[in-house]
Structure 1
Amino acid sequence: MRWLCVAVDLYIIAPVLIGGALIAKLAERYRLPYPIPLILAGMILAQMMPLGEIYGEVVGLDLIAQLTLAAVLFYAGLTMNVRELRFSLSSVLLLATLGVLITSIVAGVTILMFSAIGLVAYLIGAILSPTDPAALFSVLESGGVHIKRKILSILEGEAVFNDATAVVLVITVFTPFVIPELTVPLPVVFLEFILSMVVGVIIGLGVAYSIGHIINRAGEDTMVSILTATTPILAYGLGELFAPFGLHPGALASVFAGMFMANARHIGVRPLPQKSMRGAMKNVSFAFEIVVFILLGATVDLNFIVASEGILVLGLVTSALVILLARPVAVFLVTAHDRAMTWKGRFFVSWAGVKGVASAALAAISVSAITSYQIPDYVEIGRMINAIVFIVLMVSLVVQGFTTPFLAKWLGLVEHIDAARELTAQRDATRQALLHLVDMYTEGKIDSQLYSRLKAELEEEIFQLEDELRRLISEKRARLRELEVREEILRAKLEFFKKQYEAGRLDDSAFERQRKDLEAEIEEVITRKNTLAQGGA
Structure 2
Amino acid sequence: MDFLDTQATFLLVGVLLLTTVLAGSVSSRFGLPALIGFLGLGMLAGIDGPGGIDFENFAFAQAIGMASLVFILFSGGLDTDLKDVRRVAAPALIMASLGVLISAGIVAGAAVLLLDIAPPQAALLGAIIASTDAAAVFAILRSTGLDLHGDVPALIEVESGSNDPMAIFLVGAVLLFIAEPAASPLTLVPEFLVQMIMGAIVGIAVGFAMPALLKRGGYRQGGLAFVISIAAALIAFGAAELFSGNGFLAAYLAGLVAGSRSYAAKRTVSTFQDGMAWLAQVAMFLTLGLLVTPSQLGPVLVPGLAITAILMFIARPVSVFLCLAPFRQFAWRSKLFVSWAGLRGAVPIVLATFPIVAGVEGAFAIFNVVFFVVLLSSVIQGPTINWVAQRLAIADHESRASQRLGQSAEAQP
Query: Deviation string for 1:459-511 (max 9, x for gaps)?
Result: xxxxxxxxxxxxxxxxxxxxxxxxxxxxxxxxxxxxxxxxxxxxxxxxxxxxx
Query: Would the aligned equivalents of 1:61 and 1:368 in 2 still touch at CA under 8 Å?
Result: no
Q: Which residue number in structure 2 is paired with residue 262 of structure 1? A: 259
Q: Tell me the CA shift for residue 144 of structure 1.
A: 5.0
Pick closer, same or farther for the CA change 1:144–1:239 going to 2, 3 Å: closer
Q: Which residue number in structure 1 is paired with residue 155 of structure 2? A: 154
Query: Deviation string for 1:328-373 (max 9, x for gaps)?
Result: 1110101000112111111111111011122222223x145323xx
Q: Which residue number in structure 2 is paired with residue 446 of structure 1? A: none
CA distance in 2, matches of 1:44, 1:233: 32
1:297 aligns with 2:285: no
Q: Tell me the CA shift for residue 140 of structure 1.
A: 5.9
| Number of aligned positions between the proteins | 394
Q: Which residue number in structure 1 is paired with residue 231 of structure 2? A: 230
Pick closer, same or farther for the CA change 1:414–1:141 going to 2, 3 Å: farther
1:413 aligns with 2:412: no
Bigger drift between 208-217 and 325-334 goes to 208-217
CA distance in 1, matches of 2:113, 2:202: 40
1:362 aligns with 2:351: yes
Pick closer, same or farther for the CA change 1:392–1:97 going to 2, 3 Å: same
1:112 is aligned with what amino acid?
Answer: V
Pick closer, same or farther for the CA change 1:184–1:76 going to 2, 3 Å: farther
Unmatched 5+ stretches in structure 2: 400-413
Pick closer, same or farther for the CA change 1:16–1:86 going to 2, 3 Å: same
Query: Deviation string for 1:395-436 (max 9, x for gaps)?
Result: 111111122211110111135999xxxxxxxxxxxxxxxxxx
Q: Tell me the CA shift for residue 141 of structure 1.
A: 5.8
Please give the residue correspondences for 1:320-359 in structure 2 after superposition, counting only pairs within 5 Å: 320-359=309-348
Q: Tell me the CA shift for residue 87 of structure 1.
A: 2.8
Q: Tell me the CA shift for residue 147 of structure 1.
A: 2.4
1:108 is aligned with what amino acid?
Answer: A
Partner-residue secondary structure (3-state), 1:240: helix
Pick closer, same or farther for the CA change 1:275–1:368 going to 2, 3 Å: farther
Q: CA RMSD in A?
A: 2.7
CA distance in 2, matches of 1:116, 1:296: 25
Unmatched 5+ stretches in structure 1: 265-269, 372-377, 419-537
Please give the residue correspondences for 1:507-526 in structure 2 after superposition, counting only pairs within 5 Å: none
Pick closer, same or farther for the CA change 1:250–1:135 going to 2, 3 Å: closer
Q: Percent of aligned pairs with the same residue?
A: 26
Pick closer, same or farther for the CA change 1:3–1:236 going to 2, 3 Å: farther
Q: Which residue number in structure 2 is paired with residue 63 of structure 1? A: 63
2:194 is aligned with what amino acid?
Answer: L
Query: Would the aligned equivalents of 2:197 and 2:245 in 1 still touch at CA under 8 Å?
Result: no
Pick closer, same or farther for the CA change 1:143–1:283 going to 2, 3 Å: closer
Query: Deviation string for 1:186-223 (max 9, x for gaps)?
Result: 22212111111111012112323333332221334211
2:370 is aligned with what amino acid?
Answer: V
Q: Which residue number in structure 1 is paired with residue 364 of structure 2? A: 383
Q: Which residue number in structure 2 is paired with residue 197 of structure 1? A: 196
TM-score of the pair, normalised by structure 1: 0.68
1:278 aligns with 2:270: yes
Bigger drift between 105-114 and 152-161 goes to 105-114
Query: Deviation string for 1:212-240 (max 9, x for gaps)?
Result: 33222133421111111232222212223
CA distance in 2, matches of 1:14, 1:318: 36
Q: State the structure with bigger RCO (CA 8 A, min sep 6), 1 or 2.
A: 2
Please give the residue correspondences for 1:388-467 in structure 2 after superposition, counting only pairs within 5 Å: 388-414=369-395
Which protein shows a greater Rg?
A: 1
Q: Which residue number in structure 2 is paired with residue 480 of structure 1? A: none
Query: Deviation string for 1:247-269 (max 9, x for gaps)?
Result: 451111111111121123xxxxx
Partner-residue secondary structure (3-state), 2:193: helix
1:293 is aligned with what amino acid?
Answer: F
Q: Tell me the CA shift for residue 51 of structure 1.
A: 4.2
TM-score of the pair, normalised by structure 2: 0.87
Q: Which residue number in structure 1 is paired with residue 55 of structure 2? A: 53
Query: Would the aligned equivalents of 2:236 and 2:251 in 1 still touch at CA under 8 Å?
Result: yes
Q: Which residue number in structure 1 is paired with residue 97 of structure 2? A: 97
Pick closer, same or farther for the CA change 1:279–1:300 going to 2, 3 Å: same
